[in-house]
């Protein structure tokens, strides 16, 4: 039998990025409140610790909300009003005020100056201690019950009572993890993983692991899903920013295909097959004596060009004078319409997010309270929103947690 324990004004379920940020901001707005964080494991902020390769990509230097929103495959309508209340600029200022200066990398990702995720953890733990936020670890919340005045929170060992509860339990691609929320009548979009790399069934290019093309265009056959950017060959298939971002946009479709699908890559991005054929002929006419394999065109990396030439039956000693129409056509096809059969996926540097979770329709869009029970709030990845890589997922965690915190402090102030 769980032990009947204490009362807290606010209980936060989940000791991750959103849970801590919410707890701290509640106390900043209203230091008199009694706040507890309930964490199921014996670790706190474990994803923050490993995030960004141990550096924590805190946010993205994208100061215009309309541009920021373009990095969220799901949840864009809901995030609009959330980001209006707490933006990237607010995030940067918030951390700066707490002594954590962020720096921007050339691609826009922002990290703590220290290059260490521990800086963020230390900052949060210091503030928890300063504001006297109680943290209970190994507290796996199994259910909550609500009556007119209070919420009863039931874990394996404890029963806690609160006026308000924030559910910030993160994302899980296993639907079972949402069962306790479903049993409360909360509507959940079926969870599937997002942000992954593609396993190439045939592995024809396996020996090119490490080779990348800076601006390719990848399309998923028989769909409108396409993405342009860097592509990287790996031992298991294809990776790189364009592949990982495409996996996010197509996460639900790819799950429905059981990760068996075909992609077409144009390694020249927007240059068509026809135009490429023409350009190869023009080049051939002007450079008759040049060796083909030794002189890559279109800034294609040397090893990839050699592979394409070999696949086009162009022998190493051949000059352009010896290149036939069929060779040119095959080369143009491999450059612009190269197909890969994908079977399966692989996690990218252990980073992943969940597509799916608590549906926004049932929440007040301004403060993320459950419309049917305004004592229950949601923040972070438990919500049905997810971003591509680059700091966008933490930004959603900070912003959703902040609006919840502001609302809770306001309501309680009115008691
Ligand atoms: C390896 C990796 C690297 C990443 N790097 C980045 C990055 O650099 N930048 C970025 O923007 N995003 C990154 N992400 C995504 C980002 O970490 C998440 O989007 C973010 O942590 C979500 O925060 P959260 O608080 O909602 O959930 P979480 O951080 O997952 O925290 C949820 C917490 O709730 C606890 N919990 C769950 N159920 C219960 C329960 N029933 N009772 C009590 N506690 C419970 C969990 O144990 C967990 O501690 C990364 C993800 C991974 C996996």
Atom of ligand 1 nearest to the CA of 170: 27
Distance from the alpha carbon of residue 370 to the mean position of ligand 1, in angstroms: 21
Q: Which range, of 2-6, 188-192, 217-221, averages the lowest pLDDT?
A: 2-6
> How do residues 169-207 score in pLDDT, each as one tens digit?
999 989 999 999 999 999 999 999 999 999 999 999 999
pLDDT confidence of residue 413: 55
Distance from the alpha carbon of residue 64 to the mean position of ligand 1, in angstroms: 25
Distance from the alpha carbon of residue 115 to the mean position of ligand 1, in angstroms: 19
pLDDT confidence band for 1 (50 / 70 / 90): very low
pLDDT confidence of residue 5: 67
pLDDT confidence of residue 3: 54
Distance from the alpha carbon of residue 19 to the mean position of ligand 1, in angstroms: 10
Q: Is the per-residue pLDDT at 2 higher than 70? A: no
pLDDT confidence of residue 347: 85
Scanning 287-353, the segments in alpha helix (DSSP H) are: 302-311, 325-336
pLDDT confidence band for 415 (50 / 70 / 90): very low
Give the residue, by CA position, lying nearest to ligand 1 atom 1.
Answer: 351
pLDDT confidence of residue 147: 86
Q: Is the per-residue pLDDT at 245 higher than 60? A: yes
In testing the pocket of ligand 1, which one of 348, 394, 403 has its CB within 8 Å of the most ligand atoms?
A: 394
In testing the pocket of ligand 1, which one of 109, 197, 351, 405 has its CB within 8 Å of the most ligand atoms?
A: 351
Q: What is the dihedral of CA 184, 368, 391, 136, to 10 degrees?
A: -60
CB contact at 8 A, 300 and 260:
no
What proportion of the chain, given as a percentage, has pLDDT over 90? 94
Residue-range domains of the chain with CATH: 3-193+351-413 (3.50.50.60), 196-350 (no CATH)
| Arithmetic mean of pLDDT over the chain | 95
Mean pLDDT computed over 327-343: 98
71: DSSP letter: T
CA distance 393 to 294: 44
> How do residues 341-385 score in pLDDT, each as one tens digit?
999 999 866 668 999 999 999 999 999 999 999 999 999 999 999
Mean pLDDT computed over 206-226: 97
Burial class of residue 131 (count of CB atoms within 10 Å of its CB; 0-12, 13-18, 19+)? middle
Mean pLDDT computed over 111-133: 98
Write out the E strands in 73-136.
Answer: 102-104, 109-112, 134-136
What distance, in Å, lies between the first and last C-alpha atoms of the chain?
Answer: 33
Q: Is the per-residue pLDDT at 264 higher than 80? A: yes
How many other C-beta atoms are found inside a 10 Å radius of the C-beta of residue 284? 18
pTM over 0.85: yes
- Dig out the tokens for 381 from the structure: 């990845």
CB contact at 8 A, 345 and 258:
no
In this structure, the residues whose C-beta lies within 6 A of any atom of ligand 1 are: 13-19, 38-41, 46-47, 50-52, 56-57, 139-141, 168-170, 350-353, 380-382, 391-394, 397
Q: What is the dihedral of CA 42, 46, 49, 52, to 10 degrees?
A: 170
Scanning 174-250, the segments in alpha helix (DSSP H) are: 179-182, 241-249
Mean pLDDT computed over 13-31: 97
> How do residues 53-71 score in pLDDT, each as one tens digit?
999 999 999 999 999 999 9
Distance from the alpha carbon of residue 308 to the mean position of ligand 1, in angstroms: 42
CB contact at 8 A, 388 and 247:
no
Give the residue, by CA position, lying nearest to ligand 1 atom 52.
Answer: 351
In testing the pocket of ligand 1, which one of 19, 47, 241, 399 has its CB within 8 Å of the most ligand atoms?
A: 47
Give the residue, by CA position, lying nearest to ligand 1 atom 26.
Answer: 380
Distance from the alpha carbon of residue 340 to the mean position of ligand 1, in angstroms: 33
pLDDT confidence band for 148 (50 / 70 / 90): confident
């Amino acid at each position: 039998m769980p032990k009947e324990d204490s009362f807290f004004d606010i209980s936060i379920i989940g000791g991750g990025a959103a849970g801590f940020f919410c707890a701290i901001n509640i106390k900043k707005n209203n230091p008199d409140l009694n706040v507890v964080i309930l964490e199921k494991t014996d670790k706190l902020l474990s994803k923050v610790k490993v995030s960004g390769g141990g550096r924590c990509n805190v946010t993205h230097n994208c100061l215009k909300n309309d541009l920021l929103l373009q990095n969220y495959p799901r949840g864009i309508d809901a995030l609009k009003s959330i980001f209006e209340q707490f933006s990237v600029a607010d995030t940067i200022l918030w951390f700066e005020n707490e002594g954590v200066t962020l720096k921007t990398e050339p691609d826009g990702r922002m990290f703590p100056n220290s290059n260490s995720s521990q800086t963020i953890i230390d900052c949060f733990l210091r503030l928890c201690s300063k504001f006297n936020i109680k943290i209970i670890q190994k507290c796996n919340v199994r259910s909550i019950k609500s009556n007119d005045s209070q919420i009863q929170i039931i874990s394996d060992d404890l029963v806690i009572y609160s006026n308000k509860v924030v559910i910030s339990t993160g994302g899980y691609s296993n639907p079972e993890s949402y069962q306790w929320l479903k049993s409360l009548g909360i509507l959940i979009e079926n969870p599937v993983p997002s942000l992954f790399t593609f396993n190439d069934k045939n592995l024809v290019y396996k020996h090119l692991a490490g080779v990348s093309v800076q601006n390719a265009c990848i399309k998923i056959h028989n769909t409108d899903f396409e993405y342009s950017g860097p592509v990287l060959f790996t031992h298991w298939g294809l990776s790189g920013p364009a592949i990982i971002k495409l996996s996010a946009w197509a996460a639900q479709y790819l799950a429905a295909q059981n990760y068996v699908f075909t992609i077409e890559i144009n390694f020249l991005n927007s240059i068509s097959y026809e135009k490429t054929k023409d350009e190869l002929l023009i080049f051939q006419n002007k450079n008759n004596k040049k060796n083909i394999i030794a002189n890559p065109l279109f800034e294609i990396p040397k090893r990839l060009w050699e592979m394409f030439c070999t696949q086009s039956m162009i022998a190493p000693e051949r000059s352009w004078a010896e290149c036939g129409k069929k060779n040119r056509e095959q080369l143009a096809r491999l450059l612009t319409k190269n197909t890969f059969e994908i079977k399966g996926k692989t996690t990218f540097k252990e980073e992943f997010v969940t597509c799916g979770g608590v549906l926004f329709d049932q929440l007040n869009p301004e403060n993320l309270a459950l419309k049917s029970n305004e004592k229950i709030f949601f923040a972070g990845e438990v919500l049905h929103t997810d971003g591509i890589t680059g700091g966008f997922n933490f930004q959603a965690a900070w912003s959703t947690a902040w609006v919840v915190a502001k609302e809770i402090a306001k309501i309680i102030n009115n008691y």
